Amino acid sequence: MSINTFGHLFRVTTWGESHGPALGATVDGCPPGVPVDAAMIQHWLDRRKPGTSRYTTQRQEPDAVRILSGVFEGQTTGTPVQLMIENTDQRSKDYSDIMEKFRPGHADITYWQKYGIRDYRGGGRSSARETAARVAAGGLARAALATLAPDLQITGYMTRIGPQEIDRERFDWDTITQNPFWCPDAQAAEDWATYMKALRKSGNSVGAVVEVVARGVPAGLGAPVYGKLDTDLAAAMMSINAVKGVEIGEGMGAAMLTGEDNADEIFMGNDGRPVFSSNHSGGILGGISTGQDVVVRFAVKPTSSILKTRQTITKSGEAAEIITKGRHDPCVGIRAVPVGEAMMACVLLDHILLNRGQIGGAVGETRGRIG
DSSP symbol at 80: P
Q: Tell whether 327 is in a known binding site.
A: yes
Please list every residue from 315 through 334 that binds a copy of itself, using CB under 8 A.
315-319, 333
**Cα separation, 338 vs 48, whole angstroms:** 6
**Cα separation, 307 vs 309, whole angstroms:** 7
Q: Tell whether 301 is in a known binding site.
A: yes
Question: How many chain residues interact with a copy of itself (CB under 8 A)?
Answer: 163
* DSSP assignments along 270-300, one per residue: TTSSEEES--TTTTEETTEE-SS-EEEEEEE
**Cα separation, 229 vs 293, whole angstroms:** 13
Piece of the chain touching a copy of itself by CB under 8 A; list 55-63, 137-145, 176-184, 313-321? 313-321
Residue window 344-363: x/- pattern of binding to a copy of itself, with contact defined by CB under 8 A: ---------xxxxxxxx-x-
Residue window 50-89: x/- pattern of binding to a copy of itself, with contact defined by CB under 8 A: ----------------x-xxx-x--x-xxxxxx-x-----
Task: Find the binder of a copy of itself among 56, 57, 175, 303 (CB under 8 A).
Answer: 303
Q: Tell whether 345 is in a known binding site.
A: no
Q: Tell whether 11 is in a known binding site.
A: no
Question: Under the criterion CB under 8 A, does residue 111 sit at the interface with a copy of itself?
Answer: yes
Question: Under the criterion CB under 8 A, does residue 49 sit at the interface with a copy of itself?
Answer: no
Of 1 and 174, which has the nearer Cβ to a copy of itself?
Answer: 1
Piece of the chain touching a copy of itself by CB under 8 A; list 39-47, 53-61, 136-144, 303-311? 303-311
Task: Tell me the β-bridge partners of 299.
Answer: 209, 245
Task: Find the binder of a copy of itself among 245, 323, 326, 364 (CB under 8 A).
Answer: 245
Based on C-alpha coordinates, what's the Rg of the chain? 21
H or E stretch covering 71: strand 71-72
**Cis before residue 225, ω within 30 degrees of 0?**
yes
Task: Find the binder of a copy of itself among 59, 125, 129, 142 (CB under 8 A).
Answer: 125
| CA 65 vs CA 68, 83, 99, 241, 296: distances in Å | 9, 6, 30, 21, 28
Task: Find the binder of a copy of itself among 43, 115, 151, 201 (CB under 8 A).
Answer: 115
Of 58 and 174, which has the nearer Cβ to a copy of itself?
Answer: 58
Piece of the chain touching a copy of itself by CB under 8 A; list 49-57, 92-100, 171-179, 254-262? 254-262
Q: Tell whether 309 is in a known binding site.
A: no
CB of 336 within 8 A of CB of 240? yes
H or E stretch covering 154: strand 153-161
**Cα separation, 346 vs 338, whole angstroms:** 12
Task: Find the binder of a copy of itself among 287, 335, 337, 340 (CB under 8 A).
Answer: 287
Task: Find the binder of a copy of itself among 136, 208, 347, 348 (CB under 8 A).
Answer: 208
Please list every residue from 169 through 198 that binds a copy of itself, using CB under 8 A.
none
| CA 334 vs CA 85, 198, 330, 347: distances in Å | 21, 17, 9, 21
Cβ partners under 8 Å of residue 277, min gap 6: 264, 265, 266, 267
Q: Cβ of residue 244: shortest distance to a copy of itself, in angstroms?
A: 4
Pairing of β 266-268 and β 243-248: unpaired
Please list every residue from 127 through 166 that binds a copy of itself, using CB under 8 A.
130, 160-163
DSSP SS3 for 354: helix
Of 174 and 226, which has the nearer Cβ to a copy of itself?
Answer: 226
Binding site feature residues: 48, 54, 125-127, 241-242, 286, 301-305, 327
